[in-house]
Structures are given as C-alpha cells and as structure tokens.
Chains A and B, each alone.
Chain A
Amino acid sequence: MTSDWVSVQQAPQGVVPDDRATEFVAVDGAEHYSGSKLVVTAYIAIWVILMAWIFLLWRKQSSLSDRLEGLERTLDRAAADAEKKAKQGT
C-alpha cells in the first residue's frame, strides 16, 4: 500500500505509467525542427527581402522617371510658347 502511494507521488502530475501506451503528449516549447529546412528558409528569406527592396527601389525610379517626363513636357511647352512669341514679335 505504501509503495503504491510513493509511485503515484513520483509520476508527473496527472500521468500514470499506463498512459504512455495509449497516448502521445507533445512537450511544450521543445519542438524539434529540421536544421536543413531552417537553413534553406533563412536563405530564402534573405533573398526575398533583398528582391522586395530592389522592387521598391525600381518603383521609386519609375516615379522619378514620370516626374522627369512631366518636367520635359513643361520645358517643351515653354520653348514652343517662346518661339511663338518670337515669331509674333518679328
């Protein structure tokens, strides 16, 4: 009677020896991951981040290109107006 009481006290709370044959319980916070998968994921992440940044820089360049075209159109208009005024003056 005494030895039964001791064995129950030493087992983890709520677990009796027979449970290991009938259920699997995951250990909290100690899950195992494949090292190879983690390394590959890390390198994929590095390249995805860098490519995303290059894409953003490309979009910024496109926006600058649009603004430059706007300026060129403005200059062309101004030059045409100046030419027109010069012709009217002569």
Chain B
Amino acid sequence: MTTLTRKSGKRAWTDSLFVPLLGITTVLLLATIHWAFLKAPVEARMGIVQKIFYFHVPSAYAMYIGATACFIGSVMYLLKPTDARDALGRAGAEVAIVMGLIVLITGPLWAAKAWGYFWTWDPRLTTAMLSWLVYVAYSVLRGFSGDGPGERKFAAALGILGAANLPIIHYSVQKWGGQHPTVVTGKGGGLQHVDMKIAFWLGMAAFTFFAATLLVARVRLELVRSRIARAEEDAIDLGLDDRTET
C-alpha cells in the first residue's frame, strides 16, 4: 500500500539550518544599523542620505544571491527533476524579487538627493530593472500556470535566462559608463573612513545571511507544499479522495 506520509520522522536539512542562520542574521543586522547610524560619519557632499548606501548595495548583492540560487536550482532541475531543486529555483526567484524591489526603491531615493531626480535610464538602472522583471515573470508564471513538469521546466529555462543578465548588470557601469557610482567596484576605493568600511562590510555580511535565511525558509515552505500535493495525488490514486487531480 502506498504510504501517504513521506520522509516522516526525518528532520529536513532546512530545519536544522534555519535557527542558526536567523540568529547570525539578527546579530549582523543590529550591528550594521549600529555602525551605519551611530559610528560611520556623515558623508561630506551628500550628507545623511549617503547612509542608504549601507543597505542599498547589500540588497543588490542579496538579489544576486537569490538569482544565483534560482539559476543553480533551475539548471539542476533540468538535469534531474526533483522537488527540492524546483523549490530552490522558486525560492531564489522570490528572494531576488524582494531584494530587487528594495534596490529599485532605495536607489531612486538616494538619487533624488545626489542627482536631483529619482530615475534615469542609466545602463545599470535599466539592466537591474530588466532583471527584476524577469524574476517577476518567473514568479507570475509559477503562480498562475499550474505545477506540472512542463510548467516547471519552462520556469527553469526562465530562471537560467534571468541569470544571464546578472553579469550585464555588474559590468554595465564599466562598459557603458552612465551615472551610477562605482564606489565599491571602481579603482582606488571610495569609502575613505574606516567606520564607513566596517558599516559597509557588516551590511554585506548581514544581507548574505539574511538572503540565506529567507532562502531556507522559502525552500522549506515549498517542500512542504510539494509533499502535500503528492499526498493529495496518492489519496486520489487510492480512491480515498473523490476530488479530481489538478
């Protein structure tokens, strides 16, 4: 007889990772806020608005982490389809959307002060928005097109396409210029004060762990959803449930 509960009694890897990741993220985020607002000096030309930088850049980096997770999950799913690989792709896309939205809102708020306007079709801004829209498309596709193998494979292809844009975002400033600053990637180093450097690198570490925590939480939810879907299918196959398969 088919068993309705699978992998029961075995603790998922996501469960053992979540609490330590959440603890480290909390400590690092508090340290970042402390350093960015109470230790790092106010920037001479832009004033307090420069402090957006300590969260804007790490959010962009966290968007890359989500997008990379989506890419890895998508490639692995196309090589050998499993629920866990599909879950990684889906979770990565959602993390990329959330972090990308933070980037696309905090960036223009900084630009309003630095440039005098919120938005311009600068190469980096445009490519970042395009990439974000690809992950929104991925998520909309997964939300509205069912959960069959065909839809999963199509979404995986979209996840790979989205990752192809990441190097373009990164190198767009070097290749095509534009107004976006290159404080971190430019030569010479733009963070002149040691406390500015500490606040920035704390932010990078905090958002790395933050993205990992969100990924683990989202993967876990997706795996539970897949297990319930399979249990429903089993119940229908065994004639226990008279609902039609969806």
Contact = CB atoms under 8 A, between A and B. Distances in A.
Contacts of B106: 42, 45-46
A55 B224 CA distance: 18
B48 to A, nearest CB: 5
Interface stretch (B10-18, B107-115, B121-129, B166-174): B107-115
A41 B109 contact: yes
Nearest to B210: A50
B228 A57 contact: no
A30 to B, nearest CB: 4
Contacts of A60: 221, 225
Interface residues of B, number: 34
Nearest to B59: A46
Contacts of A61: 221
Given A46-B102, A57-B221, A39 B241 contact: no
Contact of A71 (B98, B101, B231): B231
A31 B116 contact: yes
Interface string A36-64: 10110111011001100100010011001
Contact of A42 (B47, B110, B232): B110
A81 to B, nearest CB: 9
A53 B98 contact: yes
A71 B232 contact: yes
Nearest to B33: A43
Contacts of A53: 94, 98
Contacts of A77: 240
A45 B98 contact: no
A68 B228 CA distance: 7
Nearest to B228: A67
Given A42-B106, A50-B98, A33 B218 contact: no
A57 B95 CA distance: 12
A35 B116 CA distance: 12
A42 B218 contact: no
Contacts of B51: 39
Contacts of A46: 55, 59, 102, 106
Going nearest first, the 6 A-B pairs with the smallest beta carbon separation are A35-B49, A30-B116, A35-B47, A42-B106, A78-B240, A45-B105
A33 to B, nearest CB: 5
A75 interface: yes
Given A42-B52, A49-B101, A33 B228 contact: no
A35 B113 contact: yes
Interface string B212-228: 00000110010011001
A29 interface: yes
B109 A64 contact: no
Contacts of B232: 67, 70-71
Contacts of B238: 78
B48 A75 contact: no
